[in-house]
Amino acid sequence: MIQVNKNLLLIYTISFASFMVNFDTYVVNVALPDILKDFNTNTSNISWIITGYNLMVVSLLLVFGKLGDNIGIKKLFKIGFLIFTLSSFLCGISCNVIMLIVSRMIQGIGASVLYALPQAMIAKYIPQENKRMAFGILASVAALGITLASPLSGIISAYFSWRWIFFINIPIGLISVLFLNYSIGNIFDKTYSVDNFDYSGAVLSFFLAFLITLYLNKGNLIGWTSPFSLCLLFIILVLFGKFLIKETSVKYPLINLNVFKSLEFVSANIAMFLISAYLAAGNFLMPFYLSDIKSYSSIQIGLIFMVYSISYLIMSVVSGKLSSKIPLNWVCISACFLEVLNTWGFVYFINRFEYYILIFFMLNGMAFSFFITSNNNLVMQMAKKGEEGIIAGIHRLVGRLGMLWGVAIFEAFFTINLKLGVISAFKISYLFGGIICLIAMIFSFINKKCA
């Protein structure tokens, strides 16, 4: 009889949740022209297939993080898989664009659960001696979701139908629930209650995260100083003030604000915000450099990005093992320093060494995998028992908002410097990126909690 390592099975089941969220974030992009043609709609409607999904994922991270602590992380994680699986079926059978958008937003609800809780699941259910390995596997499988999304979407759309990019989630989701039951079905969580759940705080946090995401996502498009943007910013500030007042006045707040008194927690999250900002911004700008300056084809650009993904995938496993021998904050510091050198190296070699771009992507994968794996582990070590969900939710939200902020800032920064020439705009933007990584390194150095 085959003996299955339940801990390892659980680690991969948890990791596949992140795989599915990342995969479905990017898999739709290639299929959008086919969807537009099938439904005979316009690009404005089609864009909401992506925007609606992302808005729901980000806006509910805090809510589901806290809800996991209240009703049980294991129970909510299963519910997340079921919502994601059912909504994938609804996406696949959609008969018009409105149904598809609504189904994608429901899928975003399930995805938010699956994105918010993997770190908390590892912190709560994986033995201490396997935690660092688990965070490494989580990072590598999540990266695999991004790596496979575009090529698989192209193959599925070409040989089958765009509907199958959603249908393939169904067996994965159902199998994941079965694996969860097998690996931790005999573990009974404490009986939780929603009586002490901060409903008003949850509603405020949802709308606050929703509006911040919308503001960062649309700012460059509609203008940061347009009446709509300024009105949106004013509402965000009012809601933020109301949220802080609310959280300090209720007996059972959504977020225990005392956690932000910890220098270690705050510095680790700021470092994650900054690194996420540069990672997303770099991925946004680089295709334009490869296409407009280097005149690479879309296939060549895809292959070059694969260098990053493969490097990230391999190094995530390595970093999980490495972090068991080296203090976590020193792994973060080293990763940030490597990325500073790599980014400024790219600026130096931009017109000097044709093939440095391959080295740049390889070192990118190494640096980001080392940082993200270790930073995730570091933050979750700070979570008190019973608070794993909300700490994971905060950390995930910080990373997502960092990505949105990074793209918005870099796009504006790049556009402003275009008057100096395209090459100069790229150089200045990546010099700025190196400074962001340097600041992230300083915040990682401040962090003394390195157990």
Sequence ranges of the domains in the chain: 6-196, 198-251, 258-446
Q: How far apart are the C-alpha atoms of 83 and 64, rounded to whole Å?
A: 13
- The residue that leads in pLDDT, 175 or 184, is 175
- Collapse the DSSP code of 16 into the 3-class scheme (helix H, G, I; strand E, B; otherwise coil) and give the result: helix
Q: Which of 177, 9, 147 is nearest to 78 (CA)?
A: 177
Helix and strand numbers (H, E) in the chain are: 17, 0
Task: Tell me the pLDDT band of 320, cut-offs 50, 70 and 90.
Answer: low
Q: What is the pLDDT of residue 193?
A: 58
- The whole-chain average pLDDT of the chain stands at 81
- Collapse the DSSP code of 95 into the 3-class scheme (helix H, G, I; strand E, B; otherwise coil) and give the result: coil
Instruction: Say if 6-196 and 258-446 have the same CATH topology.
Output: yes
> From its phi and psi, is residue 421 left (phi > 0), alpha (psi between -120 and 50) or beta?
left
Place of tokens 């294991």: 74
Q: How far apart are the C-alpha atoms of 424 and 430, rounded to whole Å?
A: 10
As given in the structure block, the two tokens for residue 14 are 């948890």
Q: How far apart are the C-alpha atoms of 291 and 436, rounded to whole Å?
A: 25
Judge whether residue 66 has pLDDT over 80.
Answer: yes
Q: Which CATH number fits domain 258-446: 3.40.50.2000, 1.20.1250.20, 1.20.120.1770, 1.10.40.30?
A: 1.20.1250.20
Q: What is the pLDDT of residue 365?
A: 85
Task: Tell me the pLDDT band of 85, cut-offs 50, 70 and 90.
Answer: very high
- The CATH homologous superfamily to which domain 6-196 belongs is MFS general substrate transporter like domains (1.20.1250.20)
Q: How far apart are the C-alpha atoms of 279 and 404, rounded to whole Å?
A: 10
Q: How far apart are the C-alpha atoms of 402 and 44, rounded to whole Å?
A: 25
**Of 77-81, 184-188, 420-424, the least confident:** 184-188
Count CB atoms within 10 A of the CB of residue 420: 11
Q: What is the pLDDT of residue 328?
A: 78
> From its phi and psi, is residue 386 left (phi > 0), alpha (psi between -120 and 50) or beta?
left
- Measured CA to CA in angstroms, residue 343 lies from 315, 335, 374, 444, 451 at distances of 18, 12, 21, 18, 29
- The residue that leads in pLDDT, 33 or 98, is 98
As given in the structure block, the two tokens for residue 451 are 């157990």
Judge whether residue 155 has pLDDT over 80.
Answer: no
Q: What is the pLDDT of residue 312?
A: 79
- Measured CA to CA in angstroms, residue 280 lies from 20, 276, 381, 401, 403 at distances of 19, 6, 26, 10, 5
- The residue that leads in pLDDT, 233 or 2, is 233
Q: Which of 20, 34, 442, 60 is nearest to 268 (CA)?
A: 442
Q: What is the pLDDT of residue 1?
A: 32
- Collapse the DSSP code of 271 into the 3-class scheme (helix H, G, I; strand E, B; otherwise coil) and give the result: helix
- Measured CA to CA in angstroms, residue 297 lies from 87, 126, 155, 346, 354 at distances of 35, 44, 18, 20, 16
**Of 16-20, 78-82, 191-195, the least confident:** 191-195
- With contact defined as beta carbons under 8 Å apart, do 34 and 156 qualify? no
Estimate the crossing angle of helix 298-322 against helix 356-381, to 10 degrees: 40
Task: Tell me the pLDDT band of 298, cut-offs 50, 70 and 90.
Answer: low
Q: How far apart are the C-alpha atoms of 113 and 111, rounded to whole Å?
A: 5
The letter for the amino acid at 118 is: P
As given in the structure block, the two tokens for residue 95 are 């008969």
Cβ neighbors of 264 (< 8 A, separation 6 or more) are: 382, 447, 448, 449
What pLDDT, in 10s, does the model give residues 411-444? 788 888 888 888 888 888 889 999 999 999 999 8
Q: How far apart are the C-alpha atoms of 327 and 370, rounded to whole Å?
A: 12
The letter for the amino acid at 292 is: D
For residue 383, the 8-state DSSP code is P
Q: How far apart are the C-alpha atoms of 382 and 366, rounded to whole Å?
A: 25
Q: How far apart are the C-alpha atoms of 12 and 133, rounded to whole Å?
A: 11
Q: What is the pLDDT of residue 83?
A: 93
The letter for the amino acid at 241 is: G
Q: What is the pLDDT of residue 105?
A: 92
For residue 351, the 8-state DSSP code is T
Estimate the crossing angle of helix 128-159 against helix 356-381, to 10 degrees: 130
